[in-house]
Amino acid sequence: MDQDLKIEISKARPDHVCAIQDFIRTDWKEDHIFVKSRKFFNYQYFTSDPAFYLAINDQGAIVGLLGYINYGPEAKNSDIYLSLWKVRQTNDPSLGMKLLQTLITDLEPRALHCGGIAKPTIRIYRYLGYSTGKLTTSFFPNRKISKFEIAEISSLPDISAQVVKSTQSKLVQFEDIDSLAAAYSFDEKTEKTPYKSRPYIDWRYFKHPVYDYKVYGVLSGERISSYLVTRTLKANGKKSLRIVDFVGEEMNLRCLHSELTNLVQGYEFIEFTHAGMDPQVLREAGFLNAADCDVTIPLYYEPFLKKNIEVYYFTTEKKGTRMCLGDGDQDRPNIWDGNK
Amino acid sequence: MTEDEIFVKIKEIFQDILDDELLEIGLDSTPKEIDGWDSVVNIDIVFAVEAEFDVKFGLEGIQSISKVSDVLRLVKSGLEK
């Protein structure tokens, strides 16, 4: 008898954890970090309200799931980032879409975003009327290094003429969410979505159970108008620094060249993979667009892959979206050493 | 256009998109029975069928597809409009 004649879609419950892990194990990857570490899986999706929608057949088996991350302070009307979306082949080729529709009906998100989508699926999102694109990888090289081990860089263009020399912007590190919130107003909703709330930033970066993120405010005059988040990556005995997130006004970034030059010491380069950032501002800060240079700027470190990677995304926003590699679960541990 | 003529064209579209000219399908064939008929292929089939017959299925129509006969039904319904 066909077990997929009747499929129900509903929000996951806390007691679904094992069944979801089993589904990921059998239908995705046996040694996926969400299978190997219940602690990390719980952090990612079951910290508060279970962040999953499940498609369950009439035999009680999960045949599809959609995990998400809520950027807002509330369950409803927030920006939602889709992060884990997998359906088994059933008699319903639209099951994935139906999972998404259930989420939209339930949570009424202000906007939906998703990075790391497979290239062939882009036509589905376009059909749904969503905007799609490819993230841009920018990098800020350490010009004191002559031989790169993580990146492949044979030559670097001289960009000194386009760099803004002003040192009026400074980076100020914040150790916890309270000090960041005292300096940066989370009430200020920038023109560019997604809007990232204080609880989200605290959970995502300050309370991450595995990665050590550093949060820097961009101080211009007396005001912190934006902040960025970094993480150190290691490969081939060397280090690179990733800007995993950037929130707030972009303009003051252009005066950060001197600060970024200090920050890059000890690293081969700073990598910043994003969509929606003003390319002129990044150029003035000293960043190069990897696509314009004959370089390899790796994105995968677990395991390390010395290769340029194309990251595609969709968003329901028509304009003004900013996306970074820290959004969703793009910058998450992939290898579990069992000790964390 | 007769139902048989519509079905023949739908079958050709399935064969073309799934890159299998020997593929046999029937009106009762389901995505589980036709290897490769996943969500991405489904959209490709919809695009191709819509273009072939100059019809639009709409999101609701697409989501109602669970057999080849549903594709035929949507084409017929579109042609009648």
Extract the residue ranges of chain A whose pLDDT is less than 50: 1
Going from the N-terminus, what domains does chain A have, and what CATH number goes with each? 7-109 (3.40.630.30), 137-324 (3.40.630.30)
Number of inter-chain CB pairs under 8 A, A vs B:
52
- Alpha-carbon radius of gyration of chain A: 21
pLDDT, residue A186, reads 87
Distance between CA atoms of B9 and A191, rounded to whole angstroms? 49
Chain A residues interacting with chain B (CB cutoff of 8 angstroms) = 2, 4, 87, 89-98, 101, 118, 120-121, 123-124, 127-128
Query: Which one of A91, A95, A101, A105 makes the best mutation probe of the B interface by having the most chain B beta carbons within 10 Å?
Result: A91
ipTM (interface pTM): 0.82
Are the Cβ atoms of B39 and A93 closer than 8 angstroms?
A: yes
Token digits of residue A99: 């999972």
Q: CA A238 → CA A100, A230, A268, A334, distances in Å? A: 41, 16, 7, 19
- Residues of chain B with C-beta less than 8 angstroms from the C-beta of A93: 31, 37-39, 41-42, 65-66
- Is the previous residue joined to A303 through a cis bond, with omega within 30 degrees of 0? yes
- Residues of chain B with C-beta less than 8 angstroms from the C-beta of A98: 63
Where are the strands (E) in chain A, listed by range?
7-11, 52-57, 62-70, 79-87, 111-117, 131-134, 136-141, 152-153, 169-174, 214-220, 223-235, 238-248, 269-275, 288-289, 295-296, 300-301, 304-305, 312-315, 323-324
pLDDT in tens, B28-60: 999 999 999 988 899 999 999 999 999 999 989
Q: Domain range for residue B15?
A: 3-80
| DSSP at A202 | I
Q: CA A23 → CA A45, A48, A91, A181, B63, distances in Å? A: 15, 21, 18, 39, 24
- What's the length of chain B? 81
- Residues of chain B with C-beta less than 8 angstroms from the C-beta of A95: 39
Q: CA A132 → CA A80, A113, A201, distances in Å? A: 16, 10, 25
Of A4, A94, A118, Cβ closest to residue B42: A94
Distance between CA atoms of A64 and A61, rounded to whole angstroms? 9
In sign, the C-alpha dihedral spanning A151, A152, A154, A155 is negative
pLDDT in tens, A24-59: 999 999 999 999 999 999 999 998 889 999 999 999
Query: Which one of B29, B40, B42, B69 makes the best mutation probe of the A interface by having the most chain A beta carbons within 10 Å?
Result: B40
Chain B residues interacting with chain A (CB cutoff of 8 angstroms) = 30-32, 37-44, 46-47, 59, 62-63, 65-67
CATH number at residue B41: 1.10.1200.10
Distance from CA of A10 to the nearest CA of B (A): 17
Considering the entire predicted model, what is its pTM?
0.91
User: Is A59 in contact with A90 (CB distance < 8 Å)?
Assistant: no
pLDDT, residue A4, reads 63
User: Is A230 in contact with A242 (CB distance < 8 Å)?
Assistant: yes
Apex CA A205: angle with CA A295 and CA A136, to 5°? 25
Query: Which one of A88, A89, A94 makes the best mutation probe of the B interface by having the most chain B beta carbons within 10 Å?
Result: A94
Of A89, A98, A127, Cβ closest to residue B38: A89
Considering its fold, how many domains does chain B have in total?
Answer: 1
- Kindly indicate the confidence band of residue B27, based on its pLDDT and cuts at 50, 70 and 90: very high
pLDDT in tens, A102-140: 999 999 999 999 999 988 889 889 888 999 999 999 999
- Residues of chain B with C-beta less than 8 angstroms from the C-beta of A128: 59
Are the Cβ atoms of B39 and A127 closer than 8 angstroms?
A: no
Residue A247 neighbours by CB distance under 10 Å: 22
Give helix B39-53 / helix A95-107 axis angle, nearest 10°: 100
